[in-house]
Amino acid sequence: MVRATTPTLTLTINDETVDLTAARNVYVTLEQNNTTLTKTGEELDVDARVVKVWLSQTESLALTEGQPLNIQINWTYLDTDGVTVKRAATNVAKITITRQLLDEVIV
Domain for residue 21, yes or no?
yes
Contact 82, 89 (CB under 8 A): no
> For position 99, what pLDDT does the model report?
94
Which residues constitute the domain of residue 89?
Answer: 8-96
Percentage of residues in the chain having pLDDT higher than 90? 97
Residues of the chain with pLDDT under 70: none
> For position 102, what pLDDT does the model report?
96
> For position 76, what pLDDT does the model report?
98
For the chain, the domain total comes to 1
Q: What is residue 9's three-state secondary structure? A: strand
> For position 86, what pLDDT does the model report?
97
Domain for residue 79, yes or no?
yes
Domain for residue 43, yes or no?
yes
**pTM, whole model, 2 decimals?**
0.93
Q: What is residue 60's three-state secondary structure? A: helix
